Amino acid sequence: MTASLSSDIESVLPMARQRPPAGYPIDGVTPRVAFRPETRDEVAALLQAADATGFTVAPQGSRTTLRLGRPLAAYDVALDLTGLCRVVAHEPEDLTVTVEAGMTLAALQRLLGERGQYLPVDPAPDDRVTVGGLLATARAGAWRGHLPAARDLVLGATVAMPDGALVRSGGRVVKNVSGYDLHRMHTGALGAFGVIVEASFKVAPLPAGRRSFALRCTNLEQASELAFALWDEALPLSALALLSPGAAGMAELPPDPYVLLEAMGNDAIMKRVADAVKVRAVLAHASGGIETDSQPWARLRMAAGGNDSVVLRLGVPASQVSAAIEEAEGAGCTAWGYLAAGAVLASAPTLPPEEVVRLRSYARSLGGFLQVESADASLRADVDPCGEDDALLVRALKAQFDPRGTINRGRWMEAL
């Protein structure tokens, strides 16, 4: 079987694109073969060959985020996209960039940084994620709700389909409503319908400066009130988090409840934010507006992408973020939340499935949701990691775009 698979695909890809499959395990399963194509046409040809011969393909970039979605039902071919890492177009004066999907966010930020620009996204676990992975997983970070996310910044994409077609949608201009936004359908879809090979983004000028403040509180409720007061001031904040004592410890702050915030802008903005933080802290009897470096954010970001732990993301109303943190802590998690996004992240070394189900019911009772962001295969098989899709529509789309279940079979639902 392996021999026939290799020979089928060797006819479309040069031998030099093969990689040792042992380097591409997912959930402990090693694929039969692995390929690292270098052009979009090679990606399309590989997909077409696999689709025609009935083999399943799992696309991957930096392999930082492989514990999302259900466990794969079959895994024949590893499709390593890091060979597609070229800049297609950077138009600094238009604030747009088009790059191949295997480029890392770090490389993209370096490119943009040379022209005083950046892509304002901070996905877990860090900037190692590829552009394709950034879109396919649609993970947001602490900036979400204050700054646009990848799904808001993507202007268009080219996607390789199982039938070998390369499909474009959107474009490279910052405003565009021509046709269906297929690039939005692929954002967050974990490769359900095709493999993103290129994407265009709206970028932003780098802020003049960035400062973070940590406010120590006596309890989460007080922290929440303080955070709301700051949020209501129309300050140019880029992040506003509530931390449980455990989460504060994880962020290498003293183990107390905290409000952690970041602002971006010039000196005048920074002075204003610093003053506001000071005043609010005094009014709330919190212990000062201690300025901190950006390390706590990096640690939270890493924790949100933890590959050795269970990580859950709860969507809840902003006013329920502190309550949801306490609920998750009660279930044995370390939890923190972002007010503007209505997001609570909860991390635990392990978690029984019934606790995940219970927390999901809790989030739903508040009009929210729960997504499993990271967990081992058995938990993701026991509990639907996403849970909120219109399954009939997703199934119908999958039937249209990947009827044989060639890409990431089983990720969305059994047998798909």
Binding to other proteins in span 342-361, by CB under 8 A: 342-343
Task: Confirm or reject binding of residue 205 to other proteins (CB under 8 A).
Answer: yes
> Cβ distance 31 to 79 under 8 Å?
no
Rounded Cα–Cα distance for residues 311 and 68 (Å): 10
Q: Which listed residue (48, 64, 96, 406) binds other proteins by CB under 8 A?
A: 96
Task: Confirm or reject binding of residue 389 to other proteins (CB under 8 A).
Answer: yes
Which residues on adjacent β-strands are paired with residue 292?
212
Rounded Cα–Cα distance for residues 70 and 47 (Å): 21
Q: Which listed residue (317, 330, 349, 354) binds other proteins by CB under 8 A?
A: 317
Task: Confirm or reject binding of residue 268 to other proteins (CB under 8 A).
Answer: yes
Residue owning tokens 């392999």? 63
Residues in 229-258 at the binding interface with other proteins, rule: CB under 8 A = 231-232, 234-236
Task: Confirm or reject binding of residue 192 to other proteins (CB under 8 A).
Answer: yes
Task: Confirm or reject binding of residue 50 to other proteins (CB under 8 A).
Answer: no
Task: Confirm or reject binding of residue 175 to other proteins (CB under 8 A).
Answer: yes
Q: Which listed residue (182, 195, 197, 351) binds other proteins by CB under 8 A?
A: 182
246 membership: H or E segment, kind and range:
helix 245-250
Q: How far is the CB of 215 from other proteins (least distance, A)?
A: 20
As a residue count, the chain comes to: 416
Rounded Cα–Cα distance for residues 95 and 107 (Å): 17
- Show the beta-strand stretches assigned E in 174-318: 195-202, 204-205, 210-216, 237-243, 258-264, 287-292, 310-315
Closest to 407 in 3D by CA, of 49, 22, 51, 45: 51
# residues near other proteins by CB under 8 A: 80
Q: Which is nearer to other proteins, 148 or 352 (CB)?
A: 148
Task: Confirm or reject binding of residue 178 to other proteins (CB under 8 A).
Answer: yes
Binding mask 118-147 for other proteins (x = CB under 8 A): --------------------x-x---xx--
Residues in 322-341 at the binding interface with other proteins, rule: CB under 8 A = 341
Q: Which listed residue (77, 401, 407, 409) binds other proteins by CB under 8 A?
A: 401
Q: Which is nearer to other proteins, 97 or 248 (CB)?
A: 97
Burial of 364 (0-12, 13-18, 19+ CB in 10 A): middle
